[in-house]
Amino acid sequence: MAAKKLLPAIMVAMFLFSGCEKADMPDPDPAPDLPPEFSMLMNFSDFSNVDTTGHSSSLNFQNWDAAASYVFEWKNSLDDVLTVPTTSFMRAFKSKPHFDNEFNAWAWEFEFTSDGKKYGADLRGIIVPDGIQWEMYVSLEGLFTDYLWYSGFSDKDNTKGNWVLNTGPEDPGTFLLVNWTRNAINGNYTIKYTNISSGNPQSGSYILYEKRSELMDASYTIYSSSTIHFVKIHWSHANIYGQITDARVFEDELWHCWDETRQDTACD
């Protein structure tokens, strides 16, 4: 009899204890904000989306053409390898996150299409003491599952961070380091692509884009590790005019300018 009376009491105590234990467990932190869109995708549009018909037959566009050639070289070298990373990252902004207890991470899970292929994506945000660690796993049915295409970090205030981008699963390896900063007050920001491909003669080369609070409110700094060569480009995003300094092309360290029509002009 005593044993029969004791059993229900034990069960009640176990229920109450488990209920208290569950109630004492803190809720997961709120889902973190994704890093800003610009943190992965550099703006090349001012030099790549331009009709240059007539430039080749004229000597009046040398300064702008010199700047555009460097920008185009970087854009052209990255277009294909950045397609999956940038498409997947932009698609994440349309997805609603949920907390994944298995990985102790916030997860953005969705599908996206790139070059006619439908991929599955799982972007995980792991909250750490000084910010958020990011991991993007991509799958393609019948070919690969949960391939870590890129990873990164952003601070708590979303004012700085980085990405490390890998090449595709057919030839795995890191190829690009992306560093970014953001001024939360005035909206200025920087994004820097650095080639980190092992064995690549251009490893260490970089292009840095800056959005600035100046009349020429945008700039590139471009460095080639193979030739130890720097190029600086400043221009007005709204008004087109700008300037370039390039000792290799112009054989001096002066600024060489163009006007609102992209034609060469004297620098002030």
pLDDT tens-digit series, residues 200-235: 899 999 999 999 999 999 999 999 999 999 999 999
3-state SS assignment for residue 94: coil
Alpha helical stretches, state H, the chain: 2-24, 45-48, 62-92, 247-250
Given a contact cutoff of 8 angstroms between Cβ atoms, the answer to whether 105 and 124 are in contact is yes
Residue 8 above 60 pLDDT?
A: no
- At 2, the pLDDT band (50, 70, 90 cuts) reads very low
- Under 8 Å CB-to-CB from 250, ≥6 apart: which residues? 66, 256
Report the mean per-residue pLDDT for the chain.
89
Residue 154 is predicted with a pLDDT of: 98
Query: What are the residue boundaries of the structural domains of the chain, listed by start?
Result: 60-265
Bridge partner residues of 134 (DSSP): 125, 152
Residue 19 above 60 pLDDT?
A: no
Residue 21: exposed, middle, or buried by beta-carbon count in 10 A (0-12, 13-18, 19+)?
A: exposed
From CA 224, how far away is CA 207, in angstroms rounded?
9
